[in-house]
Structure 1
C-alpha cells in the first residue's frame, strides 16, 4: 500500500496559499517586533519600542504610547497577527488533510482569516501613516511599516487562491451531484 505524503493530494492552489500564509506570517512577525516603523530626528520607532542609537525604550513609557491613535494601531495589528496565525493553521489543516477537508466551513474560515486580518492590518498601517504625518513635523516611514504592508498584499493573494480552490471544489461537487 503506497501512501501519499503530507500535502500530496492538496491542490496547487492550497499549497501555494499555505506557502503565502506562512510567508505573510513571517513578514508580520518581523514588522510587529522590530522598531523600524518610522524614523525621525535620529530615532527609529516601532509599535513597541522607540530607539535612539543603541538605547531603546518601551512605547508604554513614551508620550506617544498614551495617544489613542497609536494604541489603535497596536490593537489592529495585534488582532490581525492573531487572526493571520489562525489562518496559517487552518490552511495547513486543509493542505495536510486534503481528503477530509472538502468541508466548506473550514475552507471559508481560512478565507476569512486571510481577508479580515489583511483589512485590520491595512487599517492600522494607514492610520499610522496618516497620523504620523500629522503628529510629527519630520516623519519617514520605515522598513517594518513596509514589510507589514507587504504582508497585507500577500494575505490577500493567499485568500484569493483559497477562494478559487474552494470554488473549483464546489464546481466538482456540482458535476458529481447535479442536485446541489
Structure 2
C-alpha cells in the first residue's frame, strides 16, 4: 500500500491555492465584522458598528448609515463574504475529492469565485477610501480596511494559481464542446 499523502492526489499548486483561499476567507471575516475600517474624531468605525471609547453603537444610528455609497460598501462586502465562502467549499472539494479534481468546470468555478469577490471587495475598499476622504475632514483608514484589501490580493493570487494548475494538468478536449447529435 502506498501513502498518497495529505489531500489525496492534489498538486502542490492546488493545495497552496486552497489554503490561500481559506486564508483570504478568514481575512474577509475579520474585515467584515470588526469596527476598524476607519478612525476619525476619536472613534473607530466598521461596516456595522461605530465605537467611541469602550461603547459601540450600530452604524444605522450614524449619518454614515444613511449614505447610499456606504450601503453599497456593506452590500458588496456581504456579497464578497458569501462568494468567498462558496470558493472555499469548492476549492476543498477539488483538493479532497479525486473525482472532482479533474473536472475543468469545477476548477473554472473556483477561479471565477476567486476573482468575483476580489473585484467586489477591491471596489468596496476603494469606494470607502475615496468617499471617506470626501465626506470627512479627518479620516484615517484602519486595520479592517487593510486586511480586507489584503484578502483581495490573496484571492487574486489563489485564482491565478488555480488557473495555472488547471492549464498544466487538465488538457482541453476539443470534442467536449461538440454536439453528438445524429
Distance in 1 separating the partners of 2:31 and 2:100: 35
Which stretch shifts more, 27-36 or 97-106? 97-106
Residues 1:100 and 1:40: Cα distance change in structure 2 (over 3 Å) = closer
Q: Are the counterparts in 2 of residues 9 and 99 from structure 1 also a CA contact under 8 Å?
A: no
Partner of residue 150, structure 1: 150
Question: What TM-score does the superposition give when structure 1 sets the normalisation length?
Answer: 0.92
Matching residue of 2:131: 131
Corresponding pairs, count:
176
Q: Is the 8 A contact 1:77 1:124 kept in 2?
A: yes
Quote the RMSD (CA, aligned, Å).
1.7
Q: Give the equivalent residue in structure 1 for 2:32.
A: 32
Structure 1 distance, partners of 2:98, 2:117, is 24
Q: For residue 98 of structure 1, report the CA deviation from its aligned partner.
A: 2.9
Q: Secondary structure at the match of 1:105?
A: helix
Partner Cα separation in structure 2 for residue 100 and residue 84 of structure 1? 19
User: Residue 105 of structure 1 aligns with which residue?
Assistant: 105
Cα distance in structure 1, aligned partners of 2:111 and 2:28: 18
Cα distance in 1 for residues equivalent to 2:47 and 2:148: 11
Deviations 1:94-136 (A, max 9, x none): 0001344211110000000000000000000000000000000
- Asked if 1:51 is matched to 2:51, the reply is yes
How far 1:3 moved relative to its partner?
5.9
The residue number in structure 2 matching 1:60 is 60
Aligned partners of 1:86 and 1:113 also within 8 Å: yes
**Superposition map of 1:79-94 within 5 A:** 79-94=79-94
Q: Does the 8 A contact of 2:10 with 2:101 survive in 1?
A: no
Runs of 5+ unmatched residues, structure 2? 177-182
Indicate conservation of the 8 Å contact 1:17/1:158, yes or no: yes
